[in-house]
Chain A
Amino acid sequence: MTGNPVDCTVKSTVALQIGDVVSDSFRPGVYITDVVFGEPVNIQEISFKNSYTAFLTVRVLRKEAGSEDGSTKWVTCVRNHCLMANPHTEEGSQDYFSIYRQQMLTQPDNVTTVRLIQRQPSSVWLNFNIEEIKIYPLVHEDSERDVPSWLSTITPVEEPLDLNGLPDPDEVSSSIQQMWALTEIMQSSQTSASIGRFDVDGSYDINLLSYT
């Protein structure tokens, strides 16, 4: 949710199936969508709207660090992330999802292409896809922000520097800042106490109900 999405080209989806796509009556169970960037990106978040995809695997084409001629390597970031708890039923079928950097198996840095492998094993659905794909880059936090005191009681402030299986302080602080931003938005907006009047200036003369 940080910042703006990166400009990218979403290539048209390719079905993975044996035989001819057009003439065969079998519906494919796997689709591949590639998302290409103009220049290498460090990914923070991939968000999208699901449309009946059950499982999602994300692979990225990474530019290898320290290589001059731009050699690249495919790595898997997320394997079989479950979008629909039961592939035969509607739960999760049209929901919005986000996959964050923290959930990924490998660091999505210097990425030139993102490959989204969608799987739907159920024969119940005619089509499946993912839509509204947005990729957010990693934004560097350089300003110090005050954290309200009640928020600091939720997450422990004192953390030993010796990281014995504890999370990285930078990651924790970036997620705290996200939480803080969300709560600030909530608290600054007005209260939801209603007044209770249903008329407009004492008048409630209505003729017909509106269809729009």
Chain B
Amino acid sequence: MMDEGTELSVTIAQIVQRLKGAHLHSQLEKQARECLHRPEIKLESLKEDVRNFLRVSGWERKLQNAVYRELHILPPPGHPAAPPEHTKEPLAYMRKAQASWEKRILKSLNSMCTELGVPLARKRPIPEQKELTNKWNEMGTDEPDLSKFRPVYAPKDFLEVLISLKNPNHDCREGLTARSHWGLIQISLNVRAIPQMREAYPELSLTCCQLGIDDHAHIPPDLFESEHIRIGNKVVSEQDSAAAQQYSRQGCPTGLRAQLWALILNATNEPEDIMHYEQLKAAVIHHDLLVDNLIYKDVKLTASNDDYYFVFEDFLYQVLLCFSRDTAVLEHFSYNSATPPKSYIQGKTGTEEFAVVYPPNGVVPFHGFSMYVAPLCFLYNEPSKLYSVFREMYVRYFFRLHSISSSPSGIVSLCLQFERLLQSHLPQLFYHLQKIGAQPLRIAFKWMVRAFSGYLSTDQLLLLWDRVLGYDSLEIVAVLAAAVFAFRAENLMEVTSLASAEAVLADLSTLKVMPLLQIFLFA
């Protein structure tokens, strides 16, 4: 590969290009211009003084945070000869599988459209626009007839696709060998085993204090909690993204979590963010999309039925409807193996000037999608801030849970890692479950696709997502799934059918996440 110096230059150039048109760039220029009036800026040492001023006033830190954010989402520098689809997903057979899965989704949407006679998109007449504007804060009181709509797909449909995923170059002729897959996933991806996880996640070790374990009621707060909160306050006052991420590995205190997550994700609530959100709201008012009905249905079926989240129903509509209209989300498709669905307006099929993306953000929601947003409602009560944080979490992590890719945080890797961890840690349990027709992945998949949202109690879920943000990876979700099986292993060894295995693992709301993870990885 190219030597490190060249790679660094390419990365720098890419980040500079991305930040050039951003609001931060114009703000920095404005600040630099205005500071020229200040007495401490001398002509002889102009450059140094301006840079000093920017550092002292906190603007350099904002730039650092912005660069850090870009580094997170920037795909690794590829080879110049590699085509763009290679950046999205290097393995050809996975690209093909993703494309045919997407085609199925499109067909399903199209047939829903023609069967129900509902257009994919239409402009709302003015009276309807007025009505929606008035009802914006209480869309949950609406009871539209959603019986005809059905979700485009559910996680179990997606699981079947992943199970059937095969590498045509993979030798599966022979019977059971050392290299065979006795789980459902038949792909040989590089997943980390326990020794490597221990090295990668040292902050979770038994000797390291953390929230979720060492803030328990009977442990005096002076041992860890007070000091941890003090450091947390310092991190927030410094406004340092990278420090917040490192801090989050040991858990975020409840009072600081909202600010820390926003810092890690560099999700700001500046006037331009609020304006962007208002623009999206206007777009929702102007156009009615078929996808909106899917969102309504999903919220009604999942979040509204959940004891913890039903109060946030209105927030969920406000976030998800706007999310569908946000074209800024399209950027993430350069590193997502998925491709946004395309259509042509006014029936002008084939004419590129009339090509549009549908929905505008390119993401078709599936059954359970609203659960990605629901836990965040506990942290943020301003819709525009909630929206910024959710959008950033989606384009960094959640999109990997419902697209076929070889990424280490992708759902295929998570499934394989779950199976491998269980196979090496509890081979007897795995073999027993496999024999009775209760493949563990069939039960754990729905947890992992939602990153456990809706299955754990909220405070535990937020502790889990602290680590997802802290380690910038969804791997911990797969480890938790294996840890849950390990915890209930005794009961599971007694069951004799898939249904009874499901029953043993039906209720996870009493589980404490951090002790489970710690024991599984380090004990």
Contacts and interface: CB of A to CB of B under 8 A. Distances in A.
Interface in B16-31: 16-18, 20-22
Contacts of B194: none
B459 interface: no
23 contacts: A49-B81, A51-B169, A90-B91, A98-B1, A125-B170, A126-B169, A179-B5, A182-B9, A183-B13, A187-B17, A192-B20, A192-B331, A199-B287, A203-B345, A204-B123, A205-B119, A205-B121, A206-B358, A207-B113, A207-B120, A209-B106, A209-B120, A210-B342
Interface of A: 1, 47, 49, 51-52, 85-86, 88-91, 93-98, 100, 102, 123-128, 132, 134, 151, 154-155, 175, 178-179, 182-183, 186-187, 189, 191-200, 203-212
B120 A93 contact: no
Interface string B325-360: 111101100000000011111110100011011101
Contacts of A182: 6, 9-10, 13
B109 A209 contact: yes
Contacts of B86: 94-96
B171 A126 contact: yes
A86 B190 contact: yes
A183 B22 CA distance: 19
A205 B81 contact: no
Contacts of A100: 2-3
B406 interface: yes
A198 B106 contact: no
A186 B14 contact: yes
* Most interface-central of A93, A94, A123, A189 (chain B CB within 10 A): A94
- B interface, by DSSP: helix, strand, loop or mixed? mixed
A32 to B, nearest CB: 20
B79 A47 contact: yes
A193 B103 CA distance: 30
A211 B106 contact: yes
Contacts of A204: 121, 123, 287, 345, 356
A123 B106 CA distance: 39
A96 B81 contact: yes
A197 B330 CA distance: 12
Given A191-B20, A198-B283, A207-B113, 18 more contacts: A49-B81, A93-B90, A95-B79, A132-B81, A182-B10, A183-B10, A186-B10, A187-B17, A191-B21, A192-B20, A193-B20, A194-B328, A199-B287, A200-B356, A205-B346, A206-B358, A207-B120, A210-B342
A93 B91 contact: yes
B187 A211 contact: no
Interface residues of B, number: 72
Nearest to A193: B21
B331 to A, nearest CB: 7
A91 B344 contact: no
B327 A194 contact: yes
Nearest to B92: A94
B220 to A, nearest CB: 46
Interface in B183-197: 187-190
A194 B360 contact: no
A100 B354 CA distance: 45
A200 B190 CA distance: 44
A174 to B, nearest CB: 11
Given A193-B21, A196-B327, A209-B358, A90 B189 contact: yes
Contacts of B341: 209-210
Contacts of A1: 80
A90 B188 contact: yes
Given A97-B1, A198-B325, A183 B9 contact: yes
Contacts of B154: none
A104 to B, nearest CB: 13
A47 B120 contact: no
A206 B328 contact: no
B356 A198 contact: yes
Given A204-B356, A208-B113, A210-B344, A98 B2 contact: yes
B96 interface: no
A102 B3 contact: yes
